[in-house]
């Protein structure tokens, strides 16, 4: 959970309203003219209902987030506040990057932060912070989609995970990764996990069907064999009863699926180029 911002003045409330409507609606628009229309619509609503005079450009790059305090800030005491200008945020983001490289020393990242980069990072971090927050990042290869997703996951104290493609990688290896590295970790270890999947890893189109099932229902039909499913129910039985979910096998497995949905965040990084 994030601490709520102090709405002690009208300007903060207006900035927050514009930011959230832009994030919820405007970011989903893929055409520049549609985004411009939405911005003008928001501008008109504020001027009409709040009797405010302001320039649209004043709100174009407004960002709220909970990470400006840096890696040293306690997780439960990070207020959701209007962020500083991009240049002022760069030292803090360098600290977050240093923290990421310390946690994942085997695959460090070397990033240079600039305006658009910080905008995208903040958007992804906001989505991941939400309950069952998933994202699709559209951009050409090399534009930093996966790097931003990994850093955003680290900022939100989540573990990023990607599959390792090899010549022999097929449905068997895919299902083993989903079972062990994602669902079991998310539910049995109760660990927030960000599954980062790109179109270059789409070895079989059936992978997309499985991702669709995870997004819609939180599970893939017949993914776990009967013995493994029974072992999961035995391991989660006490937690399910404490949560008031019942003690039958079906109820415990339903609890397993629920915890998976709460802790698993899926980020798709796709390119608009090609088929």
* Partners of 199 in beta bridges: none
- 69 belongs to a structural domain: no
Q: Give 10's pLDDT tier (boundaries 50, 70, 90).
A: confident
The residue-averaged pLDDT of 19-36 equals: 90
Same domain (yes/no): 120, 246: yes
Give the pairing of strands 193-198 and 159-161. parallel
Same domain (yes/no): 102, 185: yes
Number of domains in the chain: 2
Its domain, for residue 211, covers 86-275
- 153 belongs to a structural domain: yes
Same domain (yes/no): 90, 12: no
Model pLDDT for residues 52-102, shown as the tens digit of each residue:
777 777 777 889 999 998 887 666 678 888 999 989 999 999 999 999 999
The residue-averaged pLDDT of 144-152 equals: 94
Query: Domain ends where: 19, 46, 62?
Result: 62
Cα gap 270→96, rounded to integer Å: 25
Same domain (yes/no): 163, 249: yes
- 275 belongs to a structural domain: yes
Question: Does the pLDDT value for residue 31 go beyond 80?
Answer: yes
Q: Give 6's pLDDT tier (boundaries 50, 70, 90).
A: low
Same domain (yes/no): 6, 107: no
Return the structure tokens found at 260.
């998976």
For residues 120 and 64, the answer to whether their CB atoms sit within 8 Å is: no
Across the chain, mean pLDDT equals 89
Same domain (yes/no): 164, 263: yes
Question: Does the pLDDT value for residue 148 go beyond 90?
Answer: yes
Same domain (yes/no): 217, 98: yes
Q: Give 155's pLDDT tier (boundaries 50, 70, 90).
A: very high
Query: Domain ends where: 62, 96, 114?
Result: 62
CATH code at position 199: 3.40.50.300
Same domain (yes/no): 58, 92: no
Same domain (yes/no): 14, 127: no
- 71 belongs to a structural domain: no
The residue-averaged pLDDT of 132-150 equals: 90
For residues 19 and 62, the answer to whether their CB atoms sit within 8 Å is: yes
As a three-state string, the secondary structure of the chain is CCECCCCCCHHHHHHHHHHHHHHHCHHHCCCHHHHHHHHHHHHHHHHHHHCCCCCHHHHCCCCEECCCCCCCCCHHHCECEECCCHHHHHHHHHHHHHHHHHHCCCCCCCCCCCHHHHHHHHHHHHHHHCCCCCEEEECCCCCCHHHHHHHHHHHCCCEEECCCCCCCCCHHHHHHHHHHHHHHHHHCCCCCEEEEEEHHHCCCCHHHHHHHHHHHHCCCCCCCCHHHHHHHHHHHHHHHHHCCCCCCHHHHHHHHHHHHHHHEEEEEEECCCCC
- 78 belongs to a structural domain: no
Same domain (yes/no): 42, 157: no
- 181 belongs to a structural domain: yes
- 74 belongs to a structural domain: no
| CA terminus-to-terminus distance, the chain | 40
Model pLDDT for residues 114-124, shown as the tens digit of each residue:
999 999 999 99
- 192 belongs to a structural domain: yes
Same domain (yes/no): 168, 232: yes
Same domain (yes/no): 201, 119: yes
């Amino acid at each position: 959970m994030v601490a709520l911002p102090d709405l002690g003045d009208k300007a903060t409330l207006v900035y927050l309203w514009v930011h959230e409507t832009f994030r919820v609606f405007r970011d989903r628009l893929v055409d520049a003219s549609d985004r411009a229309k939405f911005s003008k619509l928001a501008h008109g609503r504020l001027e009409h209902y709040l009797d405010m005079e302001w320039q649209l450009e004043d709100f174009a790059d407004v960002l709220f987030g909970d990470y400006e305090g840096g890696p040293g800030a306690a997780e439960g005491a990070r207020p959701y506040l209007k962020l500083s200008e991009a240049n002022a945020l760069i030292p803090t983001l360098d600290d977050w990057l240093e923290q990421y490289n310390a946690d994942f020393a085997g695959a460090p990242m070397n990033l240079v932060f600039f305006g658009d980069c910080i905008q995208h990072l903040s958007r992804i971090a906001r989505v991941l912070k939400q309950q069952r927050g998933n994202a699709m990042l559209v951009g050409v290869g090399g534009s930093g989609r996966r790097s931003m997703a990994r850093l955003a996951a680290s900022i939100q104290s989540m573990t990023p995970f990607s599959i390792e493609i090899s010549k022999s990688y097929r449905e068997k290896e895919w299902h083993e990764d989903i079972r062990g590295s994602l669902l079991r970790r998310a539910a049995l270890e109760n660990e927030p996990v960000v599954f980062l999947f790109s179109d270059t890893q789409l070895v079989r189109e059936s992978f997309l069907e499985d991702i669709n099932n995870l997004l819609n229902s939180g599970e893939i039909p017949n993914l776990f064999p009967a013995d493994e499913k029974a072992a999961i129910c035995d391991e989660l039985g006490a937690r399910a009863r404490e949560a008031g979910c019942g003690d039958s096998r079906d109820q415990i497995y339903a609890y397993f699926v629920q915890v998976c949905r709460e802790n698993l965040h899926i980020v798709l990084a796709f390119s608009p180029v090609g088929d």
